[in-house]
Structure 1
Amino acid sequence: MLFNSIDFAIFLPIVFILYWYLNNRNLNYQNLLIVLASYVFYGWWDWRFLLLIVISTIIDFSVGKKLKYENDHIKRKALLWTSILINLGVLGFFKYYNFFLDNFITAFSFFGMEIKSSSLNIILPVGISFYTFQTLSYTIDVYNRKLEATKDFIAFSAFVSFFPQLVAGPIERATHLLPQFYKKRSFDYSKAVDGLRQILWGLFKKIVIADNCAEYANMIFNNSADYSGSTLVLGALFFTFQIYGDFSGYSDIAIGTSRLFGFDLMRNFNFPYFSRDIAEFWRRWHISLSTWFRDYLYIPLGGSQGGIWMKVRNTFIIFIVSGFWHGANWTFIVWGALNAVYFLPLLLTKNNRNNIEVVAQGKLLPTLKECLYMFMTFSLVVFAWIFFRANNLEHAFNYIIEIFSPSIFTIPEFEDLKSVSIIIMLIGIFILIEWHGREWQYAIAKLGLNWRRSIRYMVYYSLIIAILWFGGKEQEFIYFQF
């Protein structure tokens, strides 16, 4: 079920009314409703994959209970690895089986050995990477005694399958989200209004910015050999705003929807395109994933505490694994490695924590120096996105070669120049709104504070009109495929 669909527009109010109707009854009733609603939400794509969520839920709940009472170090580690291997095994089969098989055959054919094998027609379950990492956070935290294992199977099932963030995050930690299912929730009008406001902003990002950018990004990338370098630059820029509007828009809708039900999810995006260096970008982009890898992979490997070799090794591991998490394609691995190359000089010179505060905090405009740093960082990010979007490495390199050809100095080629101009204008307006609200949780959060009611409603109606006017080119959320 898509957030930007009629189905969800009907589904959400029904669940909302039933949920708060049960408010004065046993807390388990509300949690059970969340589980059932989440299964309906997920099963809307393909009910058969619900079995994977159920299996993951049962395994990690059972492992957590056994870890609670087990003190033998070897047995505890065996339980932990049981959870890790089963969860990652299922994820690996559905997501990476054909990738490893194809590369295995290619490697042997390089040495003149021919291996006959056939790929499987495997359908990737929606959101499997997200809920797998979420359940793993529970098992690992219980193993490390950072979290008490739960006895409440319904609450745990609700934590694993919570529909607002089930298929594309944020990837919640059990230490943050699970305890919220133990507490009685009371309806908070101001929180609900703020949630609706964030949902509206997320829909604007997705439908007006991402979906319209996607139309031209797809056209240019899918036919890149037919376009000039200048047009390819615009294609990369369109994809840059498509993926940001698409993914951060989903996160805004997820967080806003959660607030309607009395839950607080972690922030997943913090205006990443206003970053002044690549380290700041990764503190602001897909925060739930980058912090997950930091806490459960980077720090256990030694982090940045060792010598230069260890810092280099750990940096490349974290970024390459992050790239591979996104998909079974060498393009994602190169994208991750490229970001490691960007990040490493900052780490080695201990400048990776320079820009902690919001850029130009308390000011209307940034300094010239800040503008230069933001432009340089944004350019590096756009360049890396080419690998992320390309069909394969050959496509990516050909795309880049054509960009740096003399045709980059030509006028971009579009049949419908008017539509492209409108999209560029919308991106410009979007950037201005984001810049104005960069010190808040999301761009229009400030509307709920001291703005006059007439101005607030003028903004709301403008966003709704823009969504209705520029909608219609429905695109699936990019991160559903991860």
Structure 2
Amino acid sequence: MVFSSEIFLFLFLPNFLLIYYLAPMRWRSGVLLAGSYLFYAWWRIDFLGLLVLTTVWTWALGRATRASLRTGNLRRAKTMTAIGVTGCLSVLGVFKYFNFFVDSFAGLLGTTPEAMGVHWQILLPIGISFYVFQSISYLVDTYRGDADEDPSFIDFAAFIALFPQLIAGPILRYKDLADQFRHREHSLDLFTAGMQRFFIGLAKKVLLADAVAPLADLAFQNPDPTAPIAWVGALAYMLQLYFDFSGYSDMAIGLGMMMGFRFIENFDTPYASRSITEFWKRWHISLSVWLRDYLYIPIGGNRKGAARTYVNLMVVMVLGGLWHGSAWTYVLWGAWHGGWLAAERWTGLARATGTWALGRTLLIVLLGWVAFRAATLGDAVDMYAGMIGLNGFDIAQDIRFSITREMSAALGLSILVAVLEPKLKKLSFTHFQPQSGGTMTVVNTLVPTLVVTAIAMLAILRLAEQSVSPFLYFQF
């Protein structure tokens, strides 16, 4: 089930929210769990079993770890944590990387998986990368003492399966939501703000990302793109991916607010970054924080000298690239960003400012997205060849006729929104300010409400005339 679909907007969501708010407070986690399982099973009910088994495994090993800590048996607690994390990584390894390893091994031998007797492919369960990472963070936090209370199984299972972010994040940590599972604020202001945030995300997806997608497809599906098409296609994909993924995050955060949750922000105008270091503080923030806390720091971080720091950055980013998908293109993308993170730390460019720094960063990010989007390394090379002019500078007549006015207008609008986004964020339609007591004040005015309503209507009208378009991060 996709957020940007009629069945979710007009059937699942209103009925779920009705049941959720009619239920007594003590039952709402159960309603959330049931709704999340229904949401996931809508795709394939058989893979719901894998989600449930992973949840039970993580909860049981977490309890065993906590019990060992209470008795002072640190060795057993460490063993239980290692077993739990290994089990979670095994699930990810089998379902996400088995095909990749078999294909790569066959390639090294100069043969094919079929010739080796492997005649089947494992289907990738939707959202597995996200709920496995959340499970691992819970186990590690339990061992570290950061999650010091035993959650009920219903609360924990609802956290793992939380449908607003189950499919494409943001990656949550139980220790950040534990208090919210015990007590959540429900108010009309918060619900309204969440609904506004949801529709802003829907507009990003439907009116911007989906509208520029044909331009990206046109370039990346062309075996020999000329320079203009290659650059326009790369730019279109750069915008498509951002508005698609940030739009999903907005929708997830908005849905959470409608149910009384406050999720962490996942994007902070990343295309305004002056360095790759800054970019990774603004792009997919929940993944960056996860990699820092559960991978970069444990393997040494920057505590073991400059050379080791550069190696650690490369290792983390390559593994981060591989997390996105089981293909060498993602490894290349991760290595590209890891190399630049190390180079910026070595040269001091991580602290660069000014327009030239912005342009350099955007160029590095755009070139990286080419590898990220390409189906194979060969396709990435073809795009890079086109971008440097090796395929010429003309635009074939059939391609010229394929580029409609709507595509061009969508690209121009997307560029404009991306450029103005830092200023638009300051004039946010729904403005939250944390107060000293930790509460949040929602400032709503009539004009922003009317603007968001108009945007929502445009998005829904657009949605009605196009086929369902899955979010790009569903494949990860």
> TM-score, normalization: structure 2?
0.91
The verdict on how the C-alpha distance between 1:379 and 1:432 changes in structure 2, with shifts beyond 3 A counting, is closer
Cα RMSD, aligned residues only: 2.3
Aligned to 1:192: 191
Alignment-derived partner of residue 445 in structure 1: 430
Q: Per-residue CA shift, 1:258-288, capped at 9, x if unaligned?
A: 0001001111111101111111100000011
CA distance in 2 between partners of 1:408 and 1:179 (Å): 59
> 1:255 touches 1:264 (CA, 8 Å); kept in 2?
yes
More moved, 209-218 vs 155-164 = 209-218
On the 8 A contact 1:155/1:181 being kept in 2, the answer is yes
1:307 is displaced (CA, Å) by 1.4
Q: Any gaps of 5 or more consecutive residues in structure 2?
A: 433-440
The letter for the 2-side match of 1:254 is A
Distance 1:467 1:277, change over 3 A: farther
Counterpart of 2:473 in structure 1 is 479
1:127-166 pair list within 5 angstroms: 127-166=127-166
Tell me the CA shift for residue 72 of structure 1: 2.3
Structure 1 distance, partners of 2:200, 2:374, is 29
State the distance in 2 between where 1:238 and 1:176 align. Answer: 35
Residue of structure 2 in register with 1:468 after alignment: 461
**Aligned amino acid, residue 74 of structure 1:** R
Question: Which amino acid in structure 1 is aligned with residue 222 of structure 2?
Answer: N
Aligned length: 458
Query: 1:80-479 alignment to 2 at 5 Å?
Result: 80-109=81-110, 116-183=116-183, 185-225=184-224, 227-349=225-347, 352=350, 354=351, 370-405=354-389, 409-410=393-394, 413-415=399-401, 416-439=403-426, 444-446=429-431, 453-454=446-447, 456-465=449-458, 467-469=460-462, 472-479=466-473
Tell me, yes or no, if the aligned pair for 2:200 and 2:452 is still in contact at 8 Å.
Answer: no
Counterparts in 2 of 1:193 and 1:433: CA distance versus 1, 3 Å: farther
User: What CA deviation, in whole Å up to 9, does each residue of 1:210-233 have, x standing for no partner?
Assistant: 1111122112211242x3111110
Deviations along 1:70-100, whole A, 9 cap, x unmatched?
Answer: 1323322221111111111111111110111
Moved over 4 A (4+): 406-413, 446-452
Assess if the C-alpha contact under 8 Å between 1:32 and 1:158 holds in 2.
yes
Give percent identity, aligned residues only: 34
Q: How does 1:25-44 map to 2 (within 5 A)?
A: 25=24, 27=26, 29-44=27-42
Corresponding residue for residue 21 of structure 1: 22
> Does the Cα contact within 8 Å between 1:129 and 1:325 map onto a contact in 2?
yes
User: Quick check: 1:437–1:446 contact (8 Å CA) kept in 2?
Assistant: no
Deviates more, 1:401-410 or 1:140-149: 401-410
- The aligned amino acid for 2:203 is F
Which ranges in structure 1 are unaligned for 5 or more consecutive residues? 356-368
Change (3 A) 1:247 1:445: same
Q: Secondary structure at the match of 1:306?
A: coil
**Offset of 1:302 from its aligned partner?**
1.0
The answer on whether the counterparts of 1:150 and 1:156 sit within 8 Å (CA) in structure 2 is: no
Distance 1:468 1:379 in 2: 35
Match of 2:436 in 1: none
Q: What's the TM-score once normalised by structure 1's chain length? A: 0.90
Do the aligned partners of 2:4 and 2:469 also contact (CA within 8 Å) in 1? no
Kindly provide the amino acid, as one letter, of the partner of residue 7 in structure 1: I
